[in-house]
Amino acid sequence: MSKKPRLGSDPLSWIKDSRKETKDSKQSLLSIQSKHNIQSKSKTTKQGLKEGWVRATFIVREDYVGKLKAVAYWDRKQIKEVIDEALTAYLEGKKIKQIP
């Protein structure tokens, strides 16, 4: 009498061979993912912000960051307010051409 295999006896049965996928299906998956990433970035950069504001990341010298934090602390302001004031003062009166 031979033993019958139990149902669910192979714990790895859910794994499929991905080498059988065609290049077209991989390309369509990549294009869907890239569209999704672009859409999610544009939504999250403005999430929870007032109109006209956008979240951005910049690389700044360490000593400037320390000074900005100190000014914000002593003036009882947020860092973004101090940066906004600094950029407003810097850009005031500048003639700026649009980027083509």
Measure the CA–CA gap between 62 and 35, rounded to whole angstroms.
Answer: 35
Going by C-beta distance under 8 Å and a sequence separation of 6 or more, which residues neighbour residue 83?
A: 68
More confident residue, 89 or 21: 89
Is the model's pTM score more than 0.75? no
Q: 72: alpha, beta or left, given left = phi > 0 and alpha = psi -120 to 50?
A: alpha
Residue 6 CA: distances (Å) to CA of 22, 29, 30, 64, 99 = 33, 36, 39, 67, 68
Residue 52 falls inside a structural domain: no
Q: Under DSSP, is residue 59 helix (H, G, I), strand (E, B) or coil? A: coil
What residues make up the domain containing 74? 59-93
| Count of structural domains, the chain | 1
pLDDT at 34: 60
In a domain, 85, yes or no: yes
